[in-house]
Structure 1
């Protein structure tokens, strides 16, 4: 409850993670809302307890637990995995410790025993928290004759059938044909846990149609629990972490930032390899319903539970950092050091109206604003003054900027004419991604909103200033450090823009 979800977020959470039969477990009369002899009172505590009883797994998370950890940290991880399972998200865990691959002195047998012994700490932590876990380390992973890693899902299926959290140890065997064409089993090899995460994702995605049991559904989340935390933020240096990453758009910039910040190789030694693995996994998962999150043990369980319930990062990446409230929010995220990642979508910039697919843009605007566009009048006005259009993906979002009257110095004034997100793409971080791209492209801009617009709170938080226009129904907002110098020009523009919808 401390996550304080909105009504829409709570509805989405119940829809995705709580099975329908559990939601319908009690009727209105069961909750004491009926009349006469039909009234049956059930306490809220009992109702919630039954609602969250994991009768079967509704969603799957592929979770890499990247040790080594102290005893208290193992307990935090075990407790978190149990809580997530109660909330409808069961993890298929891949155990990891970078030292398993770097220690060359151990024999294969010694290394295998060490991996099993260390992974048992997680099994014990889960069981101490009231859950059940199953260690899996033989017969699950195998390299075929083409040296491709394959996964035998039967072992995972069996654990989930028994309501156990499967703990996969990254050990694989290889089967090759000998001289008489008979399978020859090779000893178990320690392999990269990231390779196991990718192989599991590929197997689950490509075998989904072959299984009717929801416990082997397509993963909805990729989770990494470690000590170093999320991806360091190259835009806000210091001990800051990215709150949200649009992997398709930001991957190369982050890799380049690591080249320019050599110290990150010491403070975040596995960040780039984890980022590469996440990019590969998310590319195979449904972009609108799946995400990844990297969280340190110090932020458990609250960071993961908040992300599960609200399906959003802890801090909106589109918020400016020039006021006290937003700075405090960023500091809170830095302390949590948690990064949410989405596969995202490609974002394109256009300068000419003729380069846009106007019928699809019209559909996006009408679906987003739920109004009918004055098509001829709107595009006639837009054509000569379009400053730029930012289009997300397959017209899933759009920003339309215009060049309005010039300032005294002859520079154009950029006006945010339309900001639209398709209903099917809302709640996946696209709003923050587009808003941030817009502000980076247009450092000084203005827009207007009706005084009774429910989105105004969001605008207030992201603007550098605002002005309620007298004798009108408009609120003027601006972004940029110099907006207050041009209020007269801004007010004239905001009051002169004709209506776009009929």
Structure 2
């Protein structure tokens, strides 16, 4: 019953969780996770060894869907273009294990048997179309730290993503004597680190951007207006460097109204470049289309595919994770709330988090919808590869908190992935549902014809609430199903749907997190999210749903559910109300919870009896 094309692939620790659930299912005929703790993964704090480039790709564990999405950006053009001479493809001697859905080993290259590279990996290693990333390198950094960062930039260029770097140095006060010389020296340190890794670079010490809003800007447009701007001719040095296969490294300088080059905040330069490069890319497209002017085929697409903020702080601390970073941020609905809930103590440990959050919001408003931003610590260059190929956070934000808490791989330096996202809204009356848009969403997602009259008539009687993402880009429809032997209705997930065009852009996770907050997560601090619903107030309810046994999305459901039971052609899933389990677990202390608690006895058979009688919503 629940189906939409494909969802996010699992992480290794989630695969272990699925295995644990399977064992519990065998023992008790259905599974209930009790404080499941994943096995810790090794932390990636040290710079990778030589020839670790391919293993870094494999550690990203891309699904086939992830790799195809990557190739749509970098490998869909028929004539391959050779890489920069300074960045050759890996030599044949580097052994490449074939891509698998569940890579669980971290073997050294010498331990990996020599096999023929899979076509997927071979395609990733040979990009034929180059894209750009805007990168803010926010120092000060030691030489060793810059070496690690530079290696990450070189890895990205091998994969087709060329960085346009803007440097910052928090230790150089603005207005000090020798400021310009210090900034120029820092720029050259970054250049040297890149060249030591084999990259070709072009330092740009002079100003590229101009201070002040762009002439003709309309503040009523609703878009954030950068403090600086560019015109197409300003980007000539960047375009020239990219055409020559060089990484441009910019000092944070801008022209003021008197045409003097002055130091400004690097955020102003990055925001101006994000807007200017997107506008230049659109202009290039118009020129190609109209053939008014030839645009060189050697041009790199200037529209930034990624914004990368590399700092010493890592991601944005989260109120929901006791100060550990947000994993995935929906800027459309969470931006203001994150600012409001930013703990005063974090201002000393993460002094630039909010300004970087604001920078990401401004840039993402101008960048393509598929773009994302990542705030990452300098220690983990391989996380940049994972983000490029999968465009996902280190761990899915919709996974159960039991799988994330206590995981040593989730550290204060875990990256935060930021997406433009969508507004989330909760509807509690059928009359407020846009039936035309909802029907279109369900039919496109499920690829079936909805019996609309029958479906909405049933909702008139049973609807609990609907969570809508954006303009019906996704929806979770929850109903109250009455049981003959209980006065407490069953909280039933009737439909969970996301438009195919929004699968892979974070909407699925954003929607599930909102669903968690409105049902089985109610009453806990990390459920106080601004989605237009109860915002954490109330008592959590067990959430129940069913899916066809052959539904490929079940793999995703297994990771997010507390338990499941197979019922012939169907699988019944549920998520336990978390507050109740936490309260009971705290009361018992080290004794823990049993597989089946008193209040759970008979509930699965009751759920199965009610759910199997729910009529189909589809036309035959």
Map 1:48-63 → 2, pairs under 5 A: 52=125, 58-63=130-135
Q: Deviation of residue 158 (structure 1)?
A: 1.2
Map 1:310-349 → 2, pairs under 5 A: 310-322=390-402, 325-327=403-405, 330-334=407-411, 336-349=413-426
Question: Which runs of 5 or more structure 2 residues have no equivalent in the other structure?
Answer: 1-57, 83-114, 216-226, 285-294, 521-540, 581-598
Match of 1:182 in 2: none
CA 1:256/1:235 → structure 2, altered by over 3 Å: closer, same or farther? same
Match of 1:159 in 2: 241
Q: Deviation of residue 131 (structure 1)?
A: 0.7
Worse overlay, 432-441 or 10-19? 10-19
Map 1:176-215 → 2, pairs under 5 A: 176=258, 185-186=259-260, 188-211=261-284, 212=295, 214-215=299-300
Preserved CA contact (<8 Å) 1:134 1:165: yes
Map 1:421-460 → 2, pairs under 5 A: 421-443=498-520, 444=541, 445-460=543-558
Match of 1:74 in 2: 146
CA deviation digits over 1:116-173, x for unaligned, max 9?
1112111111111111111112142333698963331011111111111111101123
Match of 1:20 in 2: 77
CA deviation digits over 1:3-35, x for unaligned, max 9?
22111111111121236235599xxxxxxxxxx
Q: Distance in 2 between matches of 1:475 and 1:362?
A: 25
Instruction: Select 1:476's aligned residue among 572, 586, 591.
Output: 572
1:494 maps to 2:562: no
Q: Distance in 1 between matches of 2:80 and 2:610?
A: 51
Instruction: Select 2:437's aligned residue among 345, 357, 360.
Output: 360
Preserved CA contact (<8 Å) 2:572 2:608: yes
Q: Deviation of residue 489 (structure 1)?
A: 2.6
Q: Distance in 2 between matches of 1:456 and 1:50?
A: 29
Preserved CA contact (<8 Å) 1:292 1:340: yes
- Provide the alpha-carbon RMSD of the alignment: 2.6
Preserved CA contact (<8 Å) 2:545 2:572: yes
Q: Deviation of residue 458 (structure 1)?
A: 1.3
SS in 2 for 1:21: coil
CA 1:171/1:389 → structure 2, altered by over 3 Å: closer, same or farther? same
Match of 1:39 in 2: none
Q: Deviation of residue 52 (structure 1)?
A: 4.2
Preserved CA contact (<8 Å) 1:407 1:489: no
Preserved CA contact (<8 Å) 1:222 1:292: yes
CA deviation digits over 1:385-434, x for unaligned, max 9?
11111111111101111111159773332100000000000011111110
Question: Which runs of 5 or more structure 1 residues have no equivalent in the other structure?
Answer: 26-41, 177-184
Q: Distance in 2 between matches of 1:53 and 1:496?
A: 53
CA deviation digits over 1:333-383, x for unaligned, max 9?
326510100010111111111211112111111111111112222222122
Instruction: Select 1:217's aligned residue among 297, 302, 307.
Output: 302
Q: Distance in 2 between matches of 1:198 and 1:354?
A: 42
CA 1:271/1:402 → structure 2, altered by over 3 Å: closer, same or farther? same
SS in 2 for 1:63: strand
Q: Distance in 1 between matches of 2:123 and 2:427?
A: 53
Preserved CA contact (<8 Å) 2:430 2:460: yes
1:115 maps to 2:183: yes
Worse overlay, 91-100 or 302-311? 91-100
CA 1:278/1:296 → structure 2, altered by over 3 Å: closer, same or farther? same
CA 1:352/1:425 → structure 2, altered by over 3 Å: closer, same or farther? same
Q: Distance in 1 between matches of 2:517 and 2:155?
A: 39
Q: Distance in 1 between matches of 2:174 and 2:76?
A: 45
Instruction: Select 2:204's aligned residue among 120, 132, 136.
Output: 136
Q: Distance in 1 between matches of 2:214 and 2:432?
A: 46
Match of 2:383 in 1: 303
Greater share of residues in helix: 1
Preserved CA contact (<8 Å) 1:399 1:420: yes
Q: Distance in 2 between matches of 1:128 and 1:433?
A: 41
Preserved CA contact (<8 Å) 2:67 2:124: no
SS in 2 for 1:116: helix
Aligned length: 462
Instruction: Select 2:364's aligned residue among 266, 282, 302.
Output: 282
Q: Distance in 2 between matches of 1:50 and 1:256?
A: 44
Instruction: Select 1:150's aligned residue among 222, 229, 241.
Output: 229
Match of 2:564 in 1: 466
Q: Distance in 2 between matches of 1:231 and 1:142?
A: 29
SS in 2 for 1:340: strand
1:127 maps to 2:199: no
Instruction: Select 2:317's aligned residue among 232, 243, 251.
Output: 232
Preserved CA contact (<8 Å) 2:313 2:413: no
Preserved CA contact (<8 Å) 1:407 1:413: no
Preserved CA contact (<8 Å) 2:134 2:306: yes
Match of 2:536 in 1: none
CA 1:46/1:285 → structure 2, altered by over 3 Å: closer, same or farther? closer
Preserved CA contact (<8 Å) 2:67 2:120: no
Preserved CA contact (<8 Å) 2:564 2:572: yes
Q: Distance in 1 between matches of 2:431 and 2:550?
A: 35
Preserved CA contact (<8 Å) 1:60 1:89: yes
SS in 2 for 1:245: strand
Preserved CA contact (<8 Å) 2:398 2:510: yes
1:264 maps to 2:336: no
Preserved CA contact (<8 Å) 2:214 2:229: no
SS in 2 for 1:232: coil
Instruction: Select 1:375's aligned residue among 447, 452, 459.
Output: 452
CA deviation digits over 1:274-316, x for unaligned, max 9?
00111111112222x111001101111x101011111111111
SS in 1 for 2:494: strand
SS in 1 for 2:255: strand
TM-score by length of 1: 0.86
Q: Distance in 1 between matches of 2:516 and 2:206?
A: 52
Q: Distance in 1 between matches of 2:348 and 2:434?
A: 47
